A and B are shown apart, each in its own frame.
Chain A
Amino acid sequence: MPIKINKETCVGCGACVSQCPFGALSLVDNCAFVEETKCKFCGKCATVCPCEAITVVKEEMEAKDDLGSYKDIWVFAEQKKGQVAGVSFELLAKARELASQKPNTVWAVVLHDGSNAAICDELIKKGADKVLSVSAPELKDFDDLTYSNVLYRLAKERKPEIILCGATTIGRALMPRVAVMLKTGLTADCTQLHIDPETGLLIQTRPAFGGNIMARIRCQNTRPQMATVRHKVFAEMEPDASRSGEVEAVPFNKEDLSLRSKVLEVVENIGEQVKLTDANIIVSGGRGMKGPENFALLKELAEALGGAVGASRAAVDAGWIPYAHQVGQTGKTVCPKVYIACGISGQIQHLVGMQSSDVIVAINKDPECPMMKIANYAICGDLFEIIPLIIKELKK
């Protein structure tokens, strides 16, 4: 086992036990004991032990010998119907920042059908130094296999040092394939990225265990270093008309086309309103809404604010609103400027989906519930009374 506790030197002080983020340690007969199946070998316990009784041998993968030959930062520019996803622009801006810490060329890589002629120019104006464009009718809609074949081929040939992609449905289907094909690491759903000044490695921070803990992850022995990143954790650049860059068109290699899956139809049924993940303002309802009919009130408030409607799982499970609106661990992660939680108590599984919102407003009868405690603006009262008044106030 990569973790060892020296029974001779351990004095049973218990310092390590309380520090283990995974509850893997306990004191047995006055000596630290590690439950191997829970241990994640993070090494935290070893750093706090006053007696140096714990050694965590960080076994790791053998380093590949061509690491130095990888350079440049790639951002996968996700497009649907020729429109680039907001998160891709956010990542271009972040990639610029990373490139300023460690000089690197920022590439946008776009797979598309060419229907939007301005797409490459837009990517350059918003941060790309260069664009790698693969355009073919077959690339109109995302296909897991075809897209991963294309991206794998490009990465294999050109050896980027870093590949970033939005943690969208597409990103989280595509990147794991490409990472496994390249036999490299991929960090999921990151909320922070930076370059370690000492090693020059990409340090990727992400929530895990339902947002209860944060982990910093790096990938030192293989390349590229890959990450999917949440939307709205970085800000996109204002388009800079003075920026110019090179567009390299790469022909689509027919061998990469897979016919094993096929999109038959694309249905957009949440389109009536603003998309939840893109919304700047979200009005969310929970069990306190009491029934499906009352979501009309939330919709009215959302419309008055130009926002979208979200919900807690309790409201979704009760059948008051479709699952697509659910925010939280088993729903969507959102990060609007303003999140207004109406009749939502704020259980951890809900909070992890919205707690990085800029401003949280809670409207609740119970001043002691977790949502009221974390809210920037907490309004204690009956939502059925208060919401109509807010709508009235907004319409003034």
Chain B
Amino acid sequence: MNIIVTIKQVPDAANVRINPETKTLVREGVESMMNPLDAYALEEAVRLKEKLGGKVTVVCMGPPMAEAVLREAISLGADEAVLLSDRAVAGSDTLATSYALSQTIKKIGDYDLILGGKQAIDGDTAQVGPGIAVNLDIPQVTCVRKVRECADGKMVVERMTEEGYDVVEVTLPAVVTVVKEINEPRIASLKGKMAAKRAQIKVMTAADIEADLTRLGLKGSPTNVVEIFSPDARQGGVKIEGAPEEQAKSLVTALKEAQLL
């Protein structure tokens, strides 16, 4: 079973701060990291490989420094890594990103399954996985919280829904995006870290993936960010003081008066 895992490099969430004066993101000195949900996708891929054989290839589209997350992925059990890095992809929205990634995946070829996180913590759209599925003309299941079975060119998975979950059977190859309930990612072993150091990261350009340049970057992106602003900070309200009994009473009274109960 050959599995491709899409991995995005994102700013380290724990370090993203807002400049209180300008209300903009402070990303100076902020380290980058692997998109958290992609770590779960990778873990699931490595587990499937350990059970069924085959190999795990990780793919990332990003600047040259994104190589770091691919090395990390190798330390966690991936076998091969491909970085799509080209100025032509800068500014891509999800239509262009999923096109570029699917072209890269076509170049890698020979895959049974494509795994990725449900959503990235920066762009937050959850649109890239389904976009890849359409471009490759293969089925998809999103928000997967469990792989029940995987055999004979089929997979049975649980898709998380608002009410609970759906059990879905899907034929392979398919795109599957995962939520964090799916597993508990491992920590890199010493052997893994050694492998990561030695690994060759294959770098591809837009030409290598035979991409139509009009479908990449800003030119290939129908959505345009026209304005960026900071969300209104919520203003605090009243402090309910007094002995606990009074606090409880005041709260209930206040909620009733506001006709919220």
* A residues adjacent to B (C-beta < 8 A): 1-2, 18-24, 26, 36-42, 44, 58-62, 80, 141, 144-145, 148, 168-170, 172-173, 175-177, 179-181, 183-189, 203, 207-222, 258, 260-271, 275-277, 281, 305, 323-324, 329-330, 337-338, 349, 355, 358-361, 367, 372-382, 385-386, 389-390, 392-394
Contact = CB atoms under 8 A, between A and B. Distances in A.
B258 interface: yes
* 7 nearest A-B pairs in the assembled complex, by CB-CB distance: A23-B27, A185-B222, A376-B237, A389-B248, A37-B63, A185-B223, A188-B125
Contact of A377 (B134, B162, B165, B251): B251
Contact of A378 (B13, B223, B239, B252): B239
Given A185-B93, A263-B168, A385 B244 contact: yes
Given A208-B122, A261-B170, A261-B171, 12 more contacts: A18-B21, A37-B65, A40-B91, A176-B128, A188-B124, A215-B225, A261-B141, A268-B163, A270-B163, A277-B162, A329-B121, A377-B254
Given A60-B218, A169-B143, A393-B249, A378 B25 contact: no
B135 A1 contact: no
Given A26-B28, A207-B124, A210-B13, A305 B221 contact: no
B225 A40 contact: yes
A25 B28 CA distance: 9
Interface of B is mostly: mixed
A148 B127 CA distance: 14
Q: Which of B135, B228, B233, B251 has the most CB of A within 10 A?
A: B228
Given A173-B140, A186-B223, A38 B27 contact: yes
Given A169-B160, A169-B161, A323-B181, A220 B224 contact: yes
B206 interface: no
Contacts of B169: 261-262, 264
Interface residues of B, number: 101
A125 B256 CA distance: 31
Nearest to B259: A337
A208 B131 contact: no
Contact of B28 (A23, A37, A389): A23
B218 A185 contact: no
Contact of B95 (A41, A179, A270): A179
Interface in B58-109: 62-63, 65, 87, 90-91, 93-95, 98
Contacts of B248: 386, 389-390, 392-393
B37 interface: yes
A144 B130 contact: yes
A218 B141 contact: no
Which residue of A209, A358, A381 has the most chain B CB atoms within 10 A of its CB atom? A209
Contacts of A260: 138-139, 170-171, 174
B87 A355 contact: no
B238 interface: yes
Contacts of B94: 176, 186, 188
Contacts of A379: 239-240, 247, 251
17 contacts: A20-B24, A24-B27, A40-B91, A60-B221, A144-B139, A169-B161, A176-B94, A207-B124, A209-B25, A209-B121, A212-B18, A277-B162, A281-B261, A337-B260, A349-B13, A377-B251, A392-B248
B150 interface: no
A185 B167 contact: no
A184 B233 CA distance: 33
Residue from A19, A60, A275, A379 whose CB has the most chain B CB atoms within 10 Å: A379
A214 B142 contact: no
A264 to B, nearest CB: 4
B98 A185 contact: no
Contact of B234 (A210, A374, A380): A374
B237 A176 contact: no
Given A61-B219, A176-B126, A185-B95, A213 B231 contact: yes
